Structure 1
Amino acid sequence: MNSLKELKHYHSRFGFGLSLKDLLLFKESNSFDAHKNLEKQMDSRDFSPLEISRKLKPIRFKEMVGMEKSDRKAMIDADRKLVIEINGEWIAKMANTSNPLREKMSLFWHDHFACKPKTSYMTSSYLELIRKESLGNFRSLLHGIAKEPAMLLYLNNQQNRKGHPNENFAREVMELFTLGIGNYSEKDIKESARAFTGWNVDSDRHFKLNERQHDNGTKTFFGETKRWTGEEVIDRILEEKAAAEYVSGKIAKYFLGRPPSENLQSTLTRTFYESDYEIGPVLLAIAESDEFNSEDIIGQDVLSPVELLVRLERDFHLSADDNFYRIAIQKGLGQVLFQPPNVAGWPSGKGWIDASTLPTRLSLARAILLKNDYEVKTNKSFAQGEDLTENLSKRLKKGLQAKSNISAIEEAFGHMSYSDKTTQIANWLIPETVLNENEMIEEIKLLGFEGTKGALALIASLPEYQLK
């Protein structure tokens, strides 16, 4: 790879944008091996849990029964603050990691296996499973997710009992997680739901098979009659090539910004199925396809709110005393980690842009770099507690409390004229397929920003900065 256009595209899709460090390295060598870079990042030994994950403990709800109301509320509010801490630390990890591919795929799996964990302990357990397995084997990840307490409770499987099956969990496993609509029957749902009876959560918020609630009778699933277990149902689903097609197709759309062509989809299905659902070979096949670097792909997808936030942190080296600014941005743009709108996950592409979110997106850089006003509506469910809501509202009236460190950018571009540095920064941060230098120069004259920080605020306020 010897094109800056392709390098920027690769980092925007398989990471969170081209860092200044990688830009300068490329300018020195004028070459980049995407295949080697992907393989290096797919080394599972690189994984380490978030720091906060090491200190969390489960909330035992039975112990709360005899508590005073005020004590119970204080415990719940404290735990909700820990969820915000997990959110913030994951954002920081995405922005500062040397392995952005792991976090980028973790973000994909968080959407694919969309879930609203009830406590900080379950949030951490769910997230660390996804992060650990994000570049590994889908079969292993699926088995793990199916037994995650957060997912079992989110999909009501605690209500799935022998003689009174609840089909919600079984339906979503097939419809959203593996096969897609049309590749199973209603009978398959009913029978597999019986196989998942008794899959529950113990008082320590770990998976527990309740034998008394488990239906051990014969079930007919995909035409085969036997005493199916939940684990066997999952493995049988993955024998269907439709599962390989559905999941690899979603992965491809995530990186391409649109569904893959029939030829590429055929390649991905075969690759995924024949490797027994190894994720890495699928990513390599996407990155090395002709479609990935085509002109109608580069710069044609919209950054999700979380991707935009991470990119701002990565580009401008943001820091703050707490996570309120991160939560404010997520709320203002409509994507709060661990709070998907439903089990189907979040929108994608142009679905992120509307008359409300676009002005908010365009104001972010000025709010952070130039301390312009930035407002976002808050509510109790978002801030998770009255004190947090009030605190957040007060902070936002003063603007985003995040500090930027652009010393490295100053060193790289500060010696240039304002016009030249703006052009060079744009060439770094804006996809070349949508970069129009003449229009940008006119924008400079109209806005009248000054200095390197002004140039950064200008570039990051352009609609084109929202694209990848």
Structure 2
Amino acid sequence: MKADTYQRQLQHLYWRTGFGPSPAQMQQAPGNLNKAVKGVFSQSVSYAPLPLTITDFSRLPKGQLSPEERRRQMQQARRELAKINTTWLQTMATSPAQLREKMAFFWHGHFACRTQRPEFALNQVNLLRQHALGKFSDLLMAVAKDPAMLQFLNNQQNRKLQPNENFARELLELFTLGRGHYSEEDIKNAARAFTGWGYDAEGMFVFRERQHDAGTKTFLGKIGNFTGEDILRIILDQPQTAKFLTTKIYRFFVNDTPDAAVIQQLSEQFYATDYDIQALLQKIFSTDWFYAPANIGTRIKSPVELLTGLQRAFAIQFQDAPGLLVVQRALGQVLLYPPNVGGWPGGRNWIDSSSLMFRMKLPQTIFAGASLNISLKDDDIDMLPQLSQQERTFNRRLRVNVNLQPFRELLAKVPPRAIVAQTAAFLLQVPLNAQLTTMLQNDTDEFTPENRLNALALRLSSLPEYQLC
């Protein structure tokens, strides 16, 4: 295999199994893809919770709070949610366990959920990270009993004689079977089975037996006095659940256009292994078709992938938490704030004329210290509500540290005439055309070696091609 082909395939692996290659990763890369795949999995074996201490809001005073006391509690909650957001984003960019973080990011979109309780949000993020590569049955059960999800989909209000169908509906439509593979009666009976599932004042799951409907239920053709656990088991018994999940995973990791024959084969294996997530991913990343040209450089980076990819390539550290949140808002994806229970639509939805312009200007803000001038909209995910338009206009420089030394070390032995091509090969997953290569070569020929790399990093990461992975 040619060296440039191997580099492109290796970087494809690192982009899809994580948030893009770092210079150190490429310098330490093994000599073949099989070893690289094994390395990806071995580095994601261990799990550790995010290193955060969050206020337990269940222990704060409640009852007759004054408007000012309530406002202060809400401000504190927003600050702590912002801290979870930026800490997880930084972990995605720096953790060696790239696959664990990438898969947790996938599940964050799949089990889309929002909560104003920081302790609930942190618990759910860590839950997704812990179970990211295990058995889907364990993940599904944990999410179904998670206080953030129970609150978001109103199962706390799901009681005998007054069933609330929100959780049951989304469980079937968005989390497991997919639309068209269940009936309205299945939703009603599943909701009855989940009556009594809730959480206590400390945010711990509780089953309130007196609120549970213990009557006979018919669900997906089976009849019994089903509990919530029974409903999850019956759902997992359906091969359609494996097919639905496999299709979504394929679209996230491989290509937006599903390959029906490949997905059928993968879903059968997923089902046969009792929904072993890691085994499914190992199969995907070990196949020849995963590295086919049609699958390389064809996905539009999500805003989170764009930000973390820049951080990894150029050892960027954001010192500006409010600024980082503003950038996420402007790009259209804020961790912990999916637009709805369906998650972020992704794909071409990430790009329009406005967002593409902001994406291409972002490197100028990071590398050249240009001011960021953004007027934020007032919407339902606003982390800074009730501000005037002037107050929600962000107009200043981002506080960032950029360390290009690892990037320089990666290219230290590259001949001057090959610098442009090699820099482009590292930063872009689609080939740079000859005309643009020549133009960059001529434009930067007179620069000092250090300034040349700085200029190339800025110019190449500002291209439309950099938006693809």
CA distance in 2, matches of 1:41, 1:327: 29
CA distance in 1, matches of 2:441, 2:332: 30
What TM-score, normalized to structure 1?
0.92
Q: Does 1:23 align with 2:22?
A: no
* Contact 1:272–1:279 under 8 Å retained in 2: yes
CA distance in 1, matches of 2:271, 2:314: 41
Match of 2:255 in 1: 257
Match of 1:34 in 2: 36
Match of 1:465 in 2: 466
1:464 corresponds to which letter in structure 2?
E
Which residue of 154, 164, 167 corresponds with 1:166? Answer: 164
CA distance in 1, matches of 2:377, 2:201: 31
Deviation at 1:377, TM superposition (A): 2.4
Secondary structure of the structure 2 residue equivalent to 1:319: strand
Secondary structure of the structure 1 residue equivalent to 2:290: coil
Match of 1:290 in 2: 288
* Contact 2:365–2:397 under 8 Å retained in 1: yes
Match of 1:300 in 2: 298
CA distance in 2, matches of 1:165, 1:90: 36
CA distance in 2, matches of 1:196, 1:412: 55
Q: Which moved more, 1:453-462 or 1:201-210?
A: 201-210
CA distance in 2, matches of 1:447, 1:462: 16
Q: Spell out the pairing of 1:80-95 with structure 2 (5 A cutoff).
A: 80-95=78-93
* Contact 1:363–1:374 under 8 Å retained in 2: no
Secondary structure of the structure 2 residue equivalent to 1:190: helix
Residues 1:417 and 1:4: Cα distance change in structure 2 (over 3 Å): closer
Match of 2:179 in 1: 181
Structure 2: gaps of 5 or more residues: none
Match of 1:436 in 2: 433
Deviation at 1:36, TM superposition (A): 1.5
CA distance in 1, matches of 2:434, 2:15: 20
2:342 corresponds to which letter in structure 1?
A
Q: Which moved more, 1:378-387 or 1:336-345?
A: 378-387
Q: Deviations over 1:153-211 (max 9, x none)?
A: 11111221111111111011011100011111111111111001121121112222222
Q: Spell out the pairing of 1:259-278 with structure 2 (5 A cutoff).
A: 259-278=257-276
Q: Which moved more, 1:29-38 or 1:120-129?
A: 29-38
Q: Deviations over 1:311-340 (max 9, x none)?
A: 111111122334123212211110001111
2:427 corresponds to which letter in structure 1?
L
Q: Deviations over 1:24-75 (max 9, x none)?
A: 223xx643423312431452xx1000111xx224323893222222122112
* Contact 1:105–1:135 under 8 Å retained in 2: yes
Residues 1:142 and 1:198: Cα distance change in structure 2 (over 3 Å): same
Q: Spell out the pairing of 1:22-421 with structure 2 (5 A cutoff).
A: 22-26=25-29, 30-32=31-33, 33-43=35-45, 46-52=46-52, 55-60=53-58, 63-379=61-377, 382=381, 384-385=383-384, 396-413=394-411, 420-421=418-419
CA distance in 2, matches of 1:165, 1:171: 12
Identity of aligned residues (%): 36
What TM-score, normalized to structure 2?
0.92
Secondary structure of the structure 2 residue equivalent to 1:341: coil
CA distance in 1, matches of 2:253, 2:209: 42
Match of 1:454 in 2: 455
CA distance in 1, matches of 2:135, 2:390: 42
Deviation at 1:97, TM superposition (A): 0.7
2:404 corresponds to which letter in structure 1?
I
Secondary structure of the structure 2 residue equivalent to 1:398: strand
CA distance in 1, matches of 2:48, 2:238: 33
Residues 1:420 and 1:434: Cα distance change in structure 2 (over 3 Å): closer
Q: Spell out the pairing of 1:8-19 with structure 2 (5 A cutoff).
A: 8-19=11-22
Q: Which moved more, 1:170-179 or 1:403-412?
A: 403-412
Residues 1:190 and 1:402: Cα distance change in structure 2 (over 3 Å): same
Residues 1:333 and 1:42: Cα distance change in structure 2 (over 3 Å): same
Q: Which moved more, 1:155-164 or 1:336-345?
A: 155-164
